[in-house]
Structure 1
Amino acid sequence: MHAIRLHAFGPAENLTYEQVDDPAPGPGQVRIAVAAAGVHLLDTALRQGHRGPLPELPALPTVPGREVAGVVEALGEGVAELWLGRRVVAHLGFAPGGYAELAVTDVDRVHELPRNLDFAEAVAMIGTGRTALGIVQFAELGPDSVAVVPAAAGGLGTLLVQYARNAGATVVGLAGGTEKVARVRDNGADLAVDYTDPAWPGKVRAYLGGRVATVVFDGVGGDVAREAVALLGDGGRHLVFGWSGSGLADGRPYLVKGVSQQVLGPAMFARVGGPDPLRALELRALAEAAEERLTPALTRFPLAGAAAAHRALESRRTIGKVVLEP
């Protein structure tokens, strides 16, 4: 098969398109003929040698990627034959291997795709979608809510705008540049503004006309977060799930005592509850997409263009979820 391999941590050019041995499914595993593989901002940090929230860096050489969708084409020992030939999606967890024509994973991680969901959409929902649904649990959105979404043209931001709109909230979407602002507006935000314009907070205040923000969904950090948090009224919530504007590898989130709450990890799992909170969120995310309540935005690259996909993501030239297609 062909796969993207990383032999040394460093720039995007270190991602090479190579022919490698086909992976064999072990007991309890399936092998998926990959039709779409997700690219995450965390992948770019790992490529540079920064482990981010993961317990350790992958051993080199490695095939990056943790989100895949495709067709099951081989079964490991103990896996029911009914899985063979099924359209599926899976999050691979800590085990990489997604940037490839074939990927193996435990059958317990696999979800059969709803009939009306394509592979790239499913990849967006299995990781980014589950995160979005975990985050919104903390927001308590309704018709009286005013939600501010920085990075609203990104994969996660796109879904947060849609969810908030569906809940009846007034939605303010922030994005960088004219094209992205237009996409945020088309996605249903009541107000879309360019956060590279220093006057953007004043434009938001003028639009709200005396109303205040009730929640800020913050995956950006830095100056954008500081200005967004200043829009909150008493009792407003600053939900923090990243700080890409400060640098995912070495930066720090912008936090305000009594206002900010970091919502990933144990806090999210506790809110979801049950024996497998991540799988529960995955099921909810796929259902939201299948019912067309949430529709991910996508930027597609060929598998061989993984380095270009990383460069585009790092330079903020992508819209929505970045997906590789073999």
Structure 2
Amino acid sequence: MHAIRLHAFGPAENLTYEEVEAPVPGPGQVRIAVAAAGVHLLDAALRMGHTGPFPAPAELPTVPGREVAGTVDALGEGTDASWLGRRVVAHLGMAPGGYAEKAVVDATKLHALADHVGEAEAVAMIGTGRTTLGILQFAELGPESVAVVPAAAGGIGTLLVQYAKNAGATVIGLAGGPEKVARVAENGADLAVDYKLPDWPDQVRAFLGSRTATVVFDSVGGDTARAAVDLLGKGGLHLVFGWSSGGIADGEPLTFTEEELAAKGITSESVLGPVMLQKAGGDVRNLELAALAAATAGTLRPAVHPFPLRNAAEAHRALESRGTIGKVVLIP
């Protein structure tokens, strides 16, 4: 089979397309013939040797990637035989191996796919979708809500816009460049704005009139997030789940002192990690099930940006330069 391997930490060019032996499932495991594999900004950080929610690989070479969907083509000892031949999606967790034509995973991590849900969409929902629903645990959205979504053309941003619109909220979507802004508008945002334009906050204020924002979903940090927070009214909520504006390795989340929060009359909360898991009942699978159910019902429709598996390095470069729309997916 073919896989993408990383032999040394560094730039995207270090990801190489190679022929390797197919993995063999162990007891309680299955092997998936991969139809789609997810790519995450975290993958790029790990590629460079940085740590985060997941540790950098202890040994090289390694096959990156932790989100896969496809068809079960082999079973390990003791695995339920009913999985063989079924279309599934799984998050591999701490063990990488997704950027490949075949991947092995514990059967306990599998989710069966409905016939009308594609593998690329399922990959988007098993990672990006579960994170989106984890974030939304911290925000009660309704017709009185005004939600500001920076990076609204990204994988999470696309789903946040849809969810907020389904809840009846007014949605302000921010994106960089005309193409992304157009996609955000097509996705249902009440106002889509190019944050690269210096007057974008004035455009939002003119649109809202006497209203103010009630929640900012902040995955970018930096000046864009600070300007978005300035749109919040008293009682507003700033939810932090990323800081991509500062780069993969060097970015920092936008934070405020208690005095600043009191002066603004807002709340700021980081929602990643243990606090999100605790909200989900201590089991990330609860979020996976909810995300896939939303995709199956059609209430959430992920946007995907596909690349051939052999072009994983190109996919990483595009993601790092913000040249993608939606969830980046590799297709073997």
- Give your verdict on TM over 0.5: yes
C-alpha displacement at 1:235, in angstroms? 1.0
Q: The residue matched to 1:220 in structure 2 has which SS?
A: coil
Name the structure 2 match of 1:38: 38
Task: Report SS of the residue matched to 1:32.
Answer: strand
CA distance in 2, matches of 1:3, 1:95: 15
Superposition CA RMSD, Å: 0.9
**Cα drift, residue 59 of structure 1:** 2.0
CA distance in 1, matches of 2:318, 2:190: 28
Counterpart of 2:290 in structure 1 is 284
1:58 is displaced (CA, Å) by 4.3
Q: List runs of 5+ in structure 1 lacking aligned partners.
A: none
- Cα distance, 1:53 vs. partner? 2.5
Q: Matched residue of 1:151: which SS?
A: coil
Q: Does 1:264 align with 2:264?
A: no
What TM-score does the superposition give when structure 2 sets the normalisation length? 0.96
C-alpha separation between the residues in 2 aligned to 1:248 and 1:10? Answer: 13
State the distance in 2 between where 1:18 and 1:293 align: 39
SS of 2:4's equivalent? strand
Assess if the C-alpha contact under 8 Å between 1:174 and 1:195 holds in 2.
Answer: yes
Tell me if structure 2 keeps the 8 A contact 1:51–1:57.
no
Question: Which consecutive residues of structure 2, in runs of 5 or more, have no partner in the other structure?
Answer: 262-266
On the 8 A contact 2:146/2:170 being kept in 1, the answer is yes
Counterpart Cα distance in 1 of 2:55 and 2:324: 28
The percent identity for this pair of structures is: 73
Aligned equivalents of 2:27, 2:74: Cα separation in 1: 12
How big is the shift at 1:284? Answer: 0.4
Q: Distance in 2 between matches of 1:236 and 1:61?
A: 47
Aligned to 1:248: 248
State the alpha-carbon separation in 1 of the partners of residues 239 and 227 from structure 2. Answer: 14
Instruction: Report the Cα distance in structure 2 between the residues aligned to 1:111 and 1:58, rounded to whole angstroms.
Output: 29
Q: Partner of 1:305 in structure 2?
A: 311
- State the one-letter code of the partner of 1:294: L
Structure 1 residue 48, shift from structure 2 partner: 1.3
Query: Contact (CA 8 Å) 2:66, 2:93: kept in 1 or not?
Result: yes
Query: For the Cα contact (< 8 Å) 2:46–2:55, is it kept in 1?
Result: no
User: How do residues 60-79 of structure 1 correspond to structure 2 at under 5 angstroms?
Assistant: 60-79=60-79
Per the alignment, residue 133 of structure 2 pairs with 133
TM-score (norm 1): 0.98
The amino acid of 1:144's aligned partner reads E
The residue correspondences of 1:136-285 to structure 2 (distance < 5 A) are 136-256=136-256, 257=258, 258=261, 259-273=267-281, 276=283, 278-285=284-291
Instruction: Give distance in 2, aligned partners of 1:295 and 1:302.
Output: 22
Note if contact 1:34-1:100 (Cα within 8 Å) is conserved in structure 2: yes
Aligned residue in 1 for 2:101? 101
